[in-house]
A and B are shown apart, each in its own frame.
Chain A
Amino acid sequence: MSDFKVGQVEQPVNYQQKCCCVMVLDVSGSMSGDPIRQLNEGLQSFYEEIKNDPVSRDRLEVAVVEFSDKVNTLIDPSLIENFTMPTLSTKGTTALVDGVREGISIVKARKAWYKQTGQTYYRPWVILITDGAPDSGQEIDGLASEVRQAVADKDFVFFAVGVDGADMSVLQHISDPSMPPAPLNGLKFKEFFDWLSASMSAVTSSGDGDTINLPSPADWMKGFTI
């Protein structure tokens, strides 16, 4: 029995709505050795997952910011096909607040550009991964109120992940209660990035803006209980 013949069916070419995800990554001295190696592997794995997802690869724009005592934007918001994932190396101390601020300014600029050019977009994400405490002189309180206000205004989603040794109370302070920080279980970066690529896939497929059904973080989060 015949099916509908599709040989003559031509689909319109449409712009795919974008989602900007900025990764703010701690490359301070304490990340040397296993932590930075596992982080790099996790980043590569994330890159490959997104590349192989036919929806996310057209929708997800990734930016990478590394911070030690200086802040450095390695990748501006780009679709996967337009960049290769860099390999990070460790140096210096932990200008955490400066790093997150850079991440926030990237999503704000990207969102403004989407609006200016009439592009539809999903709420952007700022993801912080750190293993330590911020340098003294880093203004935590100011950052905390900025993040909470932005989350309340639905400007972006903020998510902090603490690697072994991270000061979780600082991360708790700067995070919005709707999305508390999560401790990474050991050095399960690959598992975290698998979850992140699945979550980004869920975000870029989501049906309405308020809550997204994210996959369970049980694989990578320490002490996760349902």
Chain B
Amino acid sequence: MALFILIQSVVYGKFPESLIKENKELKARIVTLERDNKILMIGGGFCLLLLSVGIVYSIMKKRQQKKNKKRQLTQTDSPELSMKNLITSDQWLVLAASVIGKAHVKMNLPCQDSHYKLPLENNWGIAVVCDGAGSAKNSQIGSVFIAKEAAPRYFKALVEREKWIEKKILPSSDKWDELARVELINCYGALKIFAEHRELDFSSLACTIIAVVYSPLGLLVTHIGDGRAGFKDKKWFPAMIPHKGEEANQTIFLTSKGWVNNPDLKLSGVSVPESRVITKPVEAFVLMSDGCENHSFKCSDFDEVNQIWTDPNIPSDTFFNPLIEQMPDLEKEVGQKINEKWEKFLENGLESLENEPDDKTMILGLKHGNL
């Protein structure tokens, strides 16, 4: 009975009538109790309400945070932020920067160079350099789109599809020739769609491309256009031959007619695209736009016997070695800021770099523990 009364009092907030009829004192106490009960009920209800609101708010906030994180991951400006290691995967320290050339500043042109680095798992990664055509109106847009959007996505997908990381292999030369060509055609196609979507003339987006897949096993290199690439295996060696036209400033572009439908196309004796597999023990690698080549590569040599100039196309040991030797200690000292230091070096670290009229881009990768 007492339990019944208790339940009644809690559920209804009041005591059964029959029990409170004759006892005035009890009545008074009950009234007080009922009032207190009501207060408790209201208070309890209010707390429950607050608690529910709190729970709902917390769920919504977590969802919003998840959304923000997802949005950051797809931003094209700084996709590197999505990767755990901004500069280094475990094995590689990779520096990359693009700097506007003096002549571009004078002529009110934007920097038409662009670059991207994408560390993958197990010390694999992708590095891309693009150089927009000087005369093409929107070439800086083409260069950014290819370097930061199209090329890294296509080449990353290729590496994953072929399971090279899992299988710990590099493709054969012939296979890489074939696969690289397909991905460059994909880049071409993506740029075409982009041009239509943005209502831009396709040829106004003209740019060159150098794409490198780096790994513990060596390098995969492919390119259309000029610029240079190299690697160190005790000494420095070239990793590609730039496409050069008759005149000093002529080259071929990703957007150029002819290479897509003509697998036999060559420029200055070099296949377009040119692709290479380097299976040497690579200690360091570099890729750059042509604004940096005279400063860091041996690009000309006079053959006394034949009285003729040649292009040896050799990365300069005396340029690169003093730089890579400093990288580990400098990284220890300044951490992530080492990339800013690299950018500063390209801008004005040497007098000749400071006076360079063309845009300068250089990606320099060093294997940890190698000096």
Contact = CB atoms under 8 A, between A and B. Distances in A.
Chain A contact residues: helix, strand, loop or mixed: loop
Contacts of A12: 294-299, 316, 318-319
B300 interface: yes
A201 B248 CA distance: 14
A207 B247 contact: no
B323 interface: yes
Contacts of A10: 316, 318-319, 322
B328 to A, nearest CB: 13
Nearest to A5: B326
Contact of B295 (A11, A202, A213): A11
B79 interface: no
Given A55-B355, A207-B112, A207-B133, A121 B341 contact: no
A121 B135 contact: no
Contact of B358 (A4, A8, A119, A207): A207
A213 B350 contact: no
Interface in A6-26: 6-12, 14-18
Which among A8, A16, A215 has the highest number of chain B CB atoms within 10 Å?
A8
A209 B109 contact: no
B341 A118 contact: no
A211 interface: yes
Contact of B249 (A116, A122, A215): A122
Interface in A115-141: 116-123
A223 interface: no
Which among B249, B297, B307, B318 has the highest number of chain A CB atoms within 10 Å?
B249
Contact of A2 (B244, B330, B342): B330
Interface in B293-351: 294-300, 302, 307-310, 316, 318-319, 322-323, 326, 330, 333-334, 337, 341-342, 344-345, 349-350
A123 B247 contact: yes
A16 to B, nearest CB: 7
Interface residues of A, number: 42
B349 A1 contact: no
B238 interface: no
A4 B345 contact: yes
A3 interface: yes
B263 interface: no
30 contacts: A2-B334, A4-B330, A4-B341, A4-B345, A5-B326, A6-B322, A6-B349, A8-B322, A9-B319, A9-B323, A9-B350, A11-B295, A11-B316, A11-B318, A11-B350, A12-B296, A14-B298, A17-B249, A55-B357, A118-B309, A119-B309, A120-B244, A121-B247, A123-B247, A204-B357, A205-B101, A206-B134, A207-B249, A209-B250, A211-B135
Given A55-B357, A213-B109, 17 more contacts: A4-B330, A4-B341, A4-B342, A6-B345, A6-B350, A10-B319, A11-B316, A12-B295, A118-B310, A122-B247, A205-B103, A206-B134, A206-B249, A207-B133, A209-B245, A209-B249, A211-B135
Interface of B: 101-103, 106-107, 109, 112, 131-136, 244-245, 247-251, 294-300, 302, 307-310, 316, 318-319, 322-323, 326, 330, 333-334, 337, 341-342, 344-345, 349-350, 352, 355, 357-358
Q: Which 5 A-B pairs have the closest CB atoms?
A: A207-B134, A205-B357, A15-B300, A17-B248, A10-B318
